[in-house]
Amino acid sequence: MSLKTLITVVGPTAIGKTKLGITLATHFKTEIISADSRQFFKEMNIGTAVPSKAELQAVPHHFIQHKSIFEPYSVGDFEKEATVRIDTLFQDKDYVVMVGGSGLYVDAVVNGLDEFPDIDLELRHSLNQRLENEGLKSLQEELNAKDPKYYNLVDIHNAHRVIRALEVCITAKKPYSSFLNQKREKKNFNSFYVGIKADREVIYERINQRVDTMIKDGLLDEAKKLYPHRDLNALQTVGYKELFAYLDGSSSLDFAISEIKKNTRRFAKRQLTWLRKNKHILWVDYNTEPSLILEKITNELKLNPHA
């Protein structure tokens, strides 16, 4: 029996993954799994570039705005739920499309998750207290000392990720990175990656345009509604953090907007660093005609059905 195939669309933020995902899902008569951790939360709409109503109606999407910011939701939770949904879809479909901006979440679905030691909740509480009292810099420095390899991989501005890595380093008395890429149980589907690429200047220009559109569409009003809950993990996100600083009175609105653009560019760079580790991606230029991309993908799938 030949295995079914999960086609995963990857690339930096604002490059056009949603559009290509819909094109592929329409062609293969299938549905889309979203692996964008910023789009899970229903209270965060404008700042996470959730697909439009028309896009969501064009093809069934899963894992978009299905959680509240008040519910804890981990990469482990997503991996379990997404795997079950994919298995269900494969019962009557040969292909499923996954669209992912979050490398960790994509990898979790495709490859499974690494096993980590159980964490003492007291330790988690004390690290969160340190974050509150001393700021993120102190935790970043400790992570760099304990695990320089992971420090250079992780988004060091994401407090949740920094604390998670420190918890493991302290509990296991060995680097967090030593738990990564262990042998995992093989998934019961084939994986095929298609990545969208562009010159850096194009990516940055698209990011700037997207941020300007978000501001025009009411991102500041959305941030004002979420401001009372700004300490929640889900809201430690580019686009919101910078506007919370403005609402705190610690920056001007113009400065906050320029910081959103700068931090989104940094995020795109980290996405590309993550993707460069994957040697199995079929890269296509961002302005390639969809019909040509489809032709390339179908040819590759025929040549290499066990991608």
Any domain includes 84: yes
Q: Is the pLDDT of residue 57 over 90?
A: yes
Q: Provide the pLDDT confidence category of residue 304 given band limits of 50, 70 and 90.
A: low
Q: Are residues 230 and 260 in the same domain?
A: yes
Q: Are residues 90 and 163 in the same domain?
A: no
Q: What is the mean pLDDT of the chain?
A: 92
Looking at residue 156, its pLDDT comes to 85
User: CA-to-CA distance for 196 and 286, rounded, in angstroms?
Assistant: 5
Report whether 32 contacts 60 (CB < 8 A). yes
User: CA-to-CA distance for 204 and 268, rounded, in angstroms?
Assistant: 9
**Location of structure tokens 């262990």:** 182
Give me the CATH number covering residue 153: 1.10.20
Any domain includes 211: yes
Better-scored residue on pLDDT, 246 or 177: 246
Q: Are residues 213 and 69 in the same domain?
A: yes
Q: Which residues are annotated as a binding site for substrate?
A: 13-18
Q: Is the pLDDT of residue 157 over 90?
A: no
Any domain includes 29: yes
Nearest Cα residue to 106 out of 75, 85, 74, 84: 75
Q: Are residues 141 and 273 in the same domain?
A: no
Give me the CATH number covering residue 195: 3.40.50.300
Measured at the CA of 276, the angle between CA 271 and CA 279, to 5 degrees, comes to 135
Q: Are residues 33 and 167 in the same domain?
A: no
User: CA-to-CA distance for 64 and 78, rounded, in angstroms?
Assistant: 12
Q: Are residues 46 and 106 in the same domain?
A: yes
User: CA-to-CA distance for 56 and 246, rounded, in angstroms?
Assistant: 32
Q: Is the pLDDT of residue 184 over 70?
A: no
- Per-residue pLDDT, averaged over 223-234, amounts to 94
- Per-residue pLDDT, averaged over 117-131, amounts to 88
Q: Is the pLDDT of residue 144 over 90?
A: yes
Q: Which residues are annotated as a binding site?
A: 11-18
Phi, psi angles (nearest 5°) of residue 131: -60, -45
Q: Is the pLDDT of residue 186 over 80?
A: no
- Per-residue pLDDT, averaged over 28-55, amounts to 96
Any domain includes 46: yes
Looking at residue 200, its pLDDT comes to 96
Looking at residue 187, its pLDDT comes to 84
**Parent domain of 246:** 5-114+190-303
pTM summary value: 0.82
Length of the chain: 307
Q: Is the pLDDT of residue 185 over 80?
A: no
Give the helix/strand (H/E) hosting 68.
Answer: none
- Give the lowest-confidence range in 80-94, 168-182, 211-225: 168-182
Q: Are residues 36 and 161 in the same domain?
A: no
The CA-atom distances, in angstroms, between 189 and each of 13, 80, 83, 180, 279 are 27, 15, 10, 22, 19
Looking at residue 1, its pLDDT comes to 47
Q: Are residues 135 and 280 in the same domain?
A: no
Better-scored residue on pLDDT, 115 or 65: 65
Q: Which residues are annotated as a binding site for ATP?
A: 11-18
Looking at residue 305, its pLDDT comes to 58
Domain count, the chain: 2
Any domain includes 155: yes
- Per-residue pLDDT, averaged over 105-117, amounts to 88
